[in-house]
Amino acid sequence: MSMLGVPSAPTSHTGSVKEPLHLYCLPYAGGSGRVFANWQKLFPPEIKVCCIDYPGHGARRSEPLLDRIDRIADGLAREIASRSHARYVLFGHSMGSLVGFEACHQLARYGAQLPELLAVSGHGGPRVPRSSPPMHAVPDDQFIAHLRELGATPPEILATRELMELLLPLLRADFRACETYEPSWNRKLAVPIAVYGGVDDEDADIAALRGWQSETSGTCVVRMFPGDHFFIADQAEAVASSLLHDLRETGLRS
């Protein structure tokens, strides 16, 4: 199944309309494209929101899980490279930030068209040392306690053994992918970067977010929003508004 998925909601166009800008949205660890299911309504019709599922997630749950960022990103990059896009943008939250970053480098390696903007959210620069110890290999009870602290997984799911037996392999694979990722690229991206963070996110504070500035030869802006690591849930409209602003600032919609 294609990684690029489908738009988050149908869009209709009448008359002569230029090619839409594709906004590929990459979810956090344990998430699927459904995280962005309502995002289309936050953007004008000329921006086509496409929700991404990683292998083993969401609509692709029958596929084998991947526990390496470079392999996940390579699949994404190959699909993007195989399509003819006039314009596109990558937006990733947390794990999705690393997938988007690595995909940009893979696309450059293939000589493919690069995104006009890489927007990363809820994750420090890829070369910034992690502020917390790795969790992907700890015992189940410790891992579940960590998930409870993060707050993204509903308590009723965490308390249901049968559901957690299904979810733990997926979550561990995602955590391993993030916690073992080390960029192998020495060159800077020729792509502007917009960086978004939550003011109460201890694992991605302003100093860590500024680590993205050294990854591009273009512009890099850092914007903060109220909330913790999962601020994009409550701040979706503000994030979309900032993304539109950053698109205009970089001249992408002219």
Active-site residue list: 94
C-alpha 87/C-alpha 207 separation (Å) is 31
Cα-based distances in Å from 156 to 6, 151, 152, 163, 172? 30, 12, 12, 10, 19
Give the single-character DSSP code of 230: T
Please classify residue 63 by burial: count the beta carbons closer than 10 Å to its beta carbon, then call 0-12 exposed, 13-18 middle and 19+ buried. middle
C-alpha 118/C-alpha 46 separation (Å) is 18
Cα-based distances in Å from 4 to 33, 142, 155? 10, 34, 31
Residue 142: helix, strand or coil by DSSP? helix
Give the single-character DSSP code of 128: S
C-alpha 112/C-alpha 145 separation (Å) is 42
Asked if residues 74 and 106 have their Cβ atoms less than 8 Å apart, the reply is: yes
Token pair 């192998």: residue: 184
